[in-house]
């Protein structure tokens, strides 16, 4: 995690310096690039500070150990059903809803209703049928 901290802090300082240089180069008359570069630098610094605080709280991570195995960084990601069709239904509902936002608002409620049905199906798929607990 230490290398990630260094990368984000260095990128943040770089973008802040480039933003200030860009502002002086354009006499601060072009007000899109200067604030954008400063904001990119601020966001990179925020990520670097977050990683630094997390590293300080958590301690030594497996990726910081040169003799660590790949399996040392494995974590429990939860339980997922490889046979489930509900994520595809969720994706289809999101596609219909976003299509409705882009093409016509009258389509959006259909996508929202399909999304609610898909989310309920995804949440309760282990409570009924062959895989009920």
Q: Which tens digits make up the pLDDT trace of 69-110? A: 777 767 767 777 778 899 999 999 999 999 999 999 999 999
Report the sign of the C-alpha dihedral through residues 62, 68, 70, 74, in that order: negative
CA distance 114 to 66: 49
Give the phi and the psi of residue 27 in degrees, each rounded to 5: 55, 30
Is the Cβ–Cβ distance between 37 and 22 less than 8 Å? yes
pLDDT band per the 50, 70, 90 thresholds, residue 132: low
| 109-120: average pLDDT | 96
Tokens of 48: 């670097």
Chain centre to alpha carbon of residue 94: 18
| 6-18: average pLDDT | 96
| 10-38: average pLDDT | 94
Q: Please tell me the predicted confidence (pLDDT) of residue 79.
A: 72
């Amino acid at each position: 995690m230490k290398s990630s901290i260094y990368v984000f802090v260095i990128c943040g300082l770089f973008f802040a310096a480039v933003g200030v240089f860009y502002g002086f180069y354009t006499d601060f008359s072009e007000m899109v690039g200067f604030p954008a570069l400063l904001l990119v630098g601020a966001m990179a610094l925020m990520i670097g500070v977050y990683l630094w605080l997390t590293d300080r709280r958590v301690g030594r991570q497996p990726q910081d150990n040169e003799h660590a195995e790949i399996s040392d960084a494995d974590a429990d990601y939860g339980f997922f059903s490889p046979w489930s069709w509900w994520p595809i239904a969720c994706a289809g509902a999101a596609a219909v809803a976003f299509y409705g936002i882009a093409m016509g608002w009258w389509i959006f409620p259909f996508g929202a209703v399909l999304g609610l049905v898909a989310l309920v199906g995804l949440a309760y798929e282990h409570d009924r049928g062959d895989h009920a607990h």
